Amino acid sequence: MSEGPALLWCPFPDEEEARRVAGQMLDEKLIACANIIPGMVSLYEWLGERGEAREVGALFKTDQALVPALIDRLERLHSYDTASITAWNAPASSKATAEWLGSIVNSGAAR
């Protein structure tokens, strides 16, 4: 059952990996859409050290009901030892968008 729209953000090391993972998430019906954003520069602190990297961002559109399965799957497919995955509910969505994202819940998503 649909719980409402949700978004999930995850950076990738390159566009090839972002496309491969997004395609797999579409095939597994865990997402309805992925927006891949190339040319991103990430400034961060990790393990007590500052770093900078060129990455590719991916914004995944899904339903709240699928977020736990999507996070689990991304953690297993991602090449980073610790992928940065952030998800949030998006209740302020158009009715058409909510219905579209909710339709993937009923389409037999892998869970």
- Report pTM: 0.92
Inter-residue contact 67 to 8 (CB < 8 Å): yes
- How many Å apart are CA 14 and CA 16, to the nearest integer? 6
**Domain locations in the chain as residue ranges:** 5-105
Span 4-44, pLDDT tens digits: 999 999 999 999 999 999 999 999 999 999 999 999 999 99
> Which class in CATH covers the domain with range 5-105?
alpha beta
The one-letter amino acid at 94: S
Strand order in the sheet with 49-63: 33-46, 49-63, 5-12, 86-89
pLDDT at 108 over 70: no
